[in-house]
Structure 1
């Protein structure tokens, strides 16, 4: 029950009809005037320039305590600027002022000046909005909602802890029971969060209703997005619209009606901002973009814990009642999401002028009642249902176009494959959307208007579009995707979608997979991607989706392929040991690929002999798949190299090169094959100390890699960087230090441009330092070794730094340079090092 807090408040009648810009005396209270003869924009840009001094290279604050004062000044300036703004920009300026003043408070919570500024802002906002209750405490309301949110999060965390991971060593029946339990648990958790979230928004809406006075017409606050899909999290944005009763647009006072609800929305957003969970970039401060030069990172608020807020003011967002209020060169239009029912329904038929990075028609399709007149929402829902059930070609074409875009942008296989070289992954893109987007599409294709993924799956099953097993698998995938998102947010106490590290240290020791699977367990992640991949394939390969009937069954190939993509190599080997004993030998395409995944697992676990044996078995088979044929050839050459069988590897590569022309491979296979074979040959020549031959072949490999399609090998530029490094390494051993420096610097340039692993950058700086030592350039060598050391120290835990061999060598080299040793002694030290450490060739 909502408590009436209007008693004993000061009121001034239905003042929402008035227009006032009396902001009081905040500027005097701030201690000095921020206004001079220059323009507002110039002053804001100047403050943004000042903020840049407190940011690191990634646009994040070095010391939030220092940047707090800048945010405070900018907040006051936006507040003062709003006096001069027109009706539309006035509201934007006030929203930005609220966000900036709250940002200063979160960074210096004990600063009394900041507290008073925020308090006076809220008071003056109510006057400007023409509120009925002028002494309403917007800060108190924000704190009450914050307490409600914390209780919700505590309850959610306790519920999540009870959802156990599913182990591998269970029977099939036990597995199904555990999966069903997880589905039921996640459904219950999501329903609880949805109910709690709606109650918070009802509370804020009710307070805004009282503050602004009697509304001029009936209305409904309608939720969208994950709230409408019953997949909201305790840290999600509130995407919503305001529906007005039909006929409101025909009244003489319609402009005043709109103005009432616009200010209603500003007050609503201010209360939400007062939770202090709104990151500054979400209010789209133009100055931050204007002062950012090409190549620089724009300011990013890494300090504020992103939680419950309104959808942002960025051009690609704006899913809020005020809508898109600012025009840009590329998108010179505005939208407003405060409209009578029938006018809002017209958005469902529009497309090109409303494409803000999303189609607003798609967003409006999923909706739910939050506050206000339920009948108005029912009228809107009925209109949406009629559109879903209509046979208009435009709706079907738009849906199919969006579906094709989603199949490209959220391809489960390619997204997972790219994690092999990514230092971080976005779990919302990788896990959540790779399933929910396509379940939603299936719902719309079958005129199912319930936004919940679970409800859509149930309805698909009831309509015999899918069988019971497929319904179970899809529901399980949705449960896992929701669980992952909830756990990541709860652990970070923020709406932070990323897991992993800021940057890769060693490309062979990628922590993304481990972090990803820690959330819900190995088995659930394997099954999730196997299901999502199959679901997407069904949709991708069906010509006619209007009469789609399909079933999904997971087969061993699905499991092994996903285990490979998740780099669970030990699990592949153990699964293979039991699988190979139970299954009769066959040479189907799926079976050949399974064996190849085992090859890779043995190789990654440094079991090169076992890997080679299976490769030789595959080599004798009649493989039709070009990709598999190429992979077998390349990996056999690599195995021979890693077994130190360099001459055999060279002989094999020579024989294969002679046969490549007969393979009739497309270019997409030819260039990677040639590049990998030449690269392995170059590595063998290096190992045999045939440095000039190695240089020639590394150069040839780089030329082949340059012609590889970026989509086929996303890390091809990093491989090219390795070629340049290895050329430099060979030149170093040939004594051509000038040429070596040029090649290594080229390698560093490529690694920097393509976010290459830090470990490889360290090798480059180490080799550069050694080249400069040989040239007796101690100052340059010192700089290189110091950079190497600094990079290594960032990624090696403190307790391991003293025992790390690479760090020891970097420190010893620094000491050599600092002591300005004579050249002959420096060379002796380098030679001594070579007894214990060789410079690793990059592979």
Structure 2
């Protein structure tokens, strides 16, 4: 039965925008659907509209419209699986697609093919889950020999699991490729479907995108029918992508529906598909993605070019040595360096591989310069130390950024810098060993890091049943009780997580500090300092203290090596964070008497001592101590950002001391100084700079309140809210000031704001027992009663 035709005219874009606007009523403040069943009809209508509009589109836009239609219609079906109209629309779409593509087999069942792939996928995932359960967690307290044995076992197990997943994934894609070839008829030339990314590195997951290109035999571009050849493979790719979309694991934003962006106003969250299982799909159509044969088909104002990845071998190789038209948010040259054969003519793939190998082994300065530029960018963007340091401010962490890429990117870089063919990370490490660039111990450590990174990613994806890179809570309930580290270490255990970061920290340090990476030989040895540093960053404070007790018994007393000084600082910090301030202060005083060469450690010890004195209620002593050492901080050889960071911290501590001593005007001056210094701190050095500024204004408001200056107190509270709207302290301060002036309506507004904010952060099961929520509700009632009384009077 033919489906009712949708009338399409020149206003179809307005119609799509209207539908997108209607969808907004079903979204929460984060752009997620409140009731997916209600959204389904909108996606269904949009899918039909894209299908009809494709009849009016030019050749390229037609393909985009059909891909978007497939994604939208599948999204409607997943939200209302019992809706026969939706299912019929999808079936009719698939049939119509084959006619539009000029397929040879017009009665091919794309939904049935997808179902077969889905069964293969489920078997792959089931097998992966069973294999992951067999991997042992390495206990924290084991002997060195036991640890090495368990690490070698983990490496072997992960290699096996990743090889199995890669083989299964390739087989699925071979199956789909073969079906597409049957549907489209005999190909007009020889070709190779070539995989990229984690598939080529044998690090694919059962929920990963299929990133690939289509290589054509060399010389086909000289034939008269070359345009028809390209059209064959473009439609081949559209049918392939439709089959994958029919797995119903493609989220709607990945097909880049323009209407969702057009109707989003400043400050609003764009629609995000949190309902669809994020699993096997093509790379997205967003401008920064498009690692798929059709490539980048839409121009934007900032990036007015297109890029297609269906090309003869030599034309594809030209991408390795040029930058124009390729800055999509990644370098295509980097992506094409690491590939694998999936389906088609093996010889064509070998020709391309040989061309890549020649580029890798060339002495061209431009090639080396490009590698170094990319490496330096990655060292900045995926700095393991800074990422861990900043994690204490987050409620969730992205394991792909924090764990997976902090190791795999740099193993790949080592391979390219040493003219080693890109491939599996484990194979690159083996080749580095064979070439005497690293020793056996370093090879073991790097292999273990890769094994941990793969295990973490696999475990998180398998537990979430989707490509969700985050571990942690949706919102941070208590900044002083951050569960994100515990959630992170639950994935593979404390020992493996600690060693992972110690290894990648050393690897990145080598790459960052070596002047000549073209003749690089290095080895990594994990030291006690590495261990204490990572335990500190992972907030395993009890481990730091426990390990110190055993470690210190083995060390000669009063050693003053610089590494030993750092270790003792980490121990002092662990004491402080476990509220053992006296023990922390003793350790810091010991450090203060030593000759500390590292300037940052010297000033860190000063700050830590001041904080200890404050927490021991020794306010006068803390303020006097900071007063004595402030000039010393100014003379230390630190970066400007570090100087401002430490000066702001010290000014804040003095202010808190004067606050406690009821010297409110002096405290205000110091809070202002701290706030001004925070402005100049680099965001990377102090991720909480705006929150810290908010806290300064909050305390200024409290001091003004104590001084009876209620008008100015409210003004300062306003500043605090501007810097961190969800900081509850300023809200309370405004309420108190308004209440003091009998402005109950204003106080009511702010108490209600506080209640609303707290309800966002506190889990629903804790809200009835939360004392601050009870207090806010009580304050609301007091204000309402007061307003009623005033009106009656």
Q: In the alignment, what sits opposite 1:604?
A: 577
SS at match of 1:355: coil
Q: Identify the match of residue 408 of structure 2 among 410, 413, 436.
A: 436
- 1:109 matched to 2:81? The reply is yes
- 1:742 matched to 2:715? The reply is yes
* Cα distance change on mapping 1:216 and 1:821 into 2, 3 Å: closer
SS at match of 1:383: helix
Q: Identify the match of residue 511 of structure 1 among 479, 483, 493.
A: 483
Following the alignment from structure 1 to structure 2, what is the Cα–Cα distance between the partners of residues 540 and 364? 25
Q: In the alignment, what sits opposite 1:571?
A: 543
Following the alignment from structure 1 to structure 2, what is the Cα–Cα distance between the partners of residues 464 and 286? 52
Q: In the alignment, what sits opposite 1:11?
A: none
SS at match of 1:106: helix
Note the C-alpha offset of 1:430.
Answer: 0.9
* Cα distance change on mapping 1:106 and 1:742 into 2, 3 Å: same
Describe the superposition over 1:64-92 as per-residue Cα deviations: whole angstroms up to 9, x where unpaired. 12221111111111111100101011000
Q: Identify the match of residue 815 of structure 1 among 762, 781, 788.
A: 781
**Contact 1:484–1:520 (8 Å) recurs in 2:** yes
Note the C-alpha offset of 1:781.
Answer: 2.4
- 1:302 matched to 2:274? The reply is yes
Instruction: State the TM-score, normalizing by the size of structure 1.
Output: 0.91
**Contact 1:526–1:562 (8 Å) recurs in 2:** yes
Following the alignment from structure 1 to structure 2, what is the Cα–Cα distance between the partners of residues 90 and 804? 56
Matches within 5 A, 1:756-795: 758=726, 761-795=727-761
Note the C-alpha offset of 1:490.
Answer: 0.9
Farther-moved stretch of structure 1 (474-483 vs 104-113): 104-113
Following the alignment from structure 1 to structure 2, what is the Cα–Cα distance between the partners of residues 214 and 810? 72
Instruction: State the TM-score, normalizing by the size of structure 2.
Output: 0.97
Following the alignment from structure 1 to structure 2, what is the Cα–Cα distance between the partners of residues 402 and 516? 28
Note the C-alpha offset of 1:55.
Answer: 1.9
Farther-moved stretch of structure 1 (690-699 vs 523-532): 690-699
Following the alignment from structure 1 to structure 2, what is the Cα–Cα distance between the partners of residues 390 and 246? 22
Following the alignment from structure 2 to structure 1, what is the Cα–Cα distance between the partners of residues 783 and 84? 52
- 1:327 matched to 2:304? The reply is no
Following the alignment from structure 1 to structure 2, what is the Cα–Cα distance between the partners of residues 487 and 718? 34
- 1:497 matched to 2:469? The reply is yes
Q: In the alignment, what sits opposite 1:213?
A: 185
- 1:651 matched to 2:624? The reply is yes
Q: In the alignment, what sits opposite 1:164?
A: 136
Q: In the alignment, what sits opposite 2:97?
A: 125
SS at match of 2:26: coil
Note the C-alpha offset of 1:595.
Answer: 0.7
Following the alignment from structure 1 to structure 2, what is the Cα–Cα distance between the partners of residues 131 and 283? 23
Describe the superposition over 1:574-596 as per-residue Cα deviations: whole angstroms up to 9, x where unpaired. 11111111112421211111111
SS at match of 2:517: coil
Q: In the alignment, what sits opposite 1:468?
A: 440
Q: In the alignment, what sits opposite 1:530?
A: 502
* Cα distance change on mapping 1:660 and 1:98 into 2, 3 Å: closer
Describe the superposition over 1:233-284 as per-residue Cα deviations: whole angstroms up to 9, x where unpaired. 0000000111112222222211111111100000000000000100111111
Gaps of 5+ in 1: 1-23, 753-757, 825-843
Matches within 5 A, 1:310-349: 310-349=282-321
**Contact 1:34–1:73 (8 Å) recurs in 2:** no
Following the alignment from structure 1 to structure 2, what is the Cα–Cα distance between the partners of residues 765 and 396? 55
Q: In the alignment, what sits opposite 1:841?
A: none
Q: In the alignment, what sits opposite 2:366?
A: 394
Following the alignment from structure 2 to structure 1, what is the Cα–Cα distance between the partners of residues 788 and 186? 88
Matches within 5 A, 1:206-605: 206-585=178-557, 586-605=559-578
Q: In the alignment, what sits opposite 1:26?
A: 3
Note the C-alpha offset of 1:807.
Answer: 2.5
Note the C-alpha offset of 1:217.
Answer: 1.4
Describe the superposition over 1:284-306 as per-residue Cα deviations: whole angstroms up to 9, x where unpaired. 11111222222222211111111
Note the C-alpha offset of 1:735.
Answer: 2.9
> What RMSD, in angstroms, separates the aligned Cα atoms of the two structures?
1.8
Q: In the alignment, what sits opposite 2:38?
A: 66
Following the alignment from structure 1 to structure 2, what is the Cα–Cα distance between the partners of residues 798 and 284? 34
- 1:622 matched to 2:595? The reply is yes
* Cα distance change on mapping 1:647 and 1:694 into 2, 3 Å: same
Following the alignment from structure 1 to structure 2, what is the Cα–Cα distance between the partners of residues 294 and 724? 27
Following the alignment from structure 2 to structure 1, what is the Cα–Cα distance between the partners of residues 49 and 583? 69
Note the C-alpha offset of 1:660.
Answer: 4.4
Q: Identify the match of residue 640 of structure 1 among 593, 602, 613.
A: 613
Q: In the alignment, what sits opposite 2:650?
A: 677
SS at match of 1:165: coil
Following the alignment from structure 2 to structure 1, what is the Cα–Cα distance between the partners of residues 459 and 236? 34
* Cα distance change on mapping 1:185 and 1:665 into 2, 3 Å: closer
Farther-moved stretch of structure 1 (811-820 vs 406-415): 811-820
Following the alignment from structure 1 to structure 2, what is the Cα–Cα distance between the partners of residues 508 and 290? 40
Matches within 5 A, 1:138-149: 138-149=110-121
SS at match of 1:549: coil
Farther-moved stretch of structure 1 (374-383 vs 191-200): 374-383
Note the C-alpha offset of 1:799.
Answer: 4.8
SS at match of 2:519: coil
SS at match of 2:40: helix
Note the C-alpha offset of 1:823.
Answer: 8.7
Q: In the alignment, what sits opposite 2:672?
A: 699
Following the alignment from structure 2 to structure 1, what is the Cα–Cα distance between the partners of residues 629 and 516? 44
Farther-moved stretch of structure 1 (160-169 vs 653-662): 653-662
**Contact 2:41–2:76 (8 Å) recurs in 1:** yes
Following the alignment from structure 1 to structure 2, what is the Cα–Cα distance between the partners of residues 73 and 552? 59
Describe the superposition over 1:207-236 as per-residue Cα deviations: whole angstroms up to 9, x where unpaired. 111111111112111111100100000000
Following the alignment from structure 1 to structure 2, what is the Cα–Cα distance between the partners of residues 76 and 606? 62
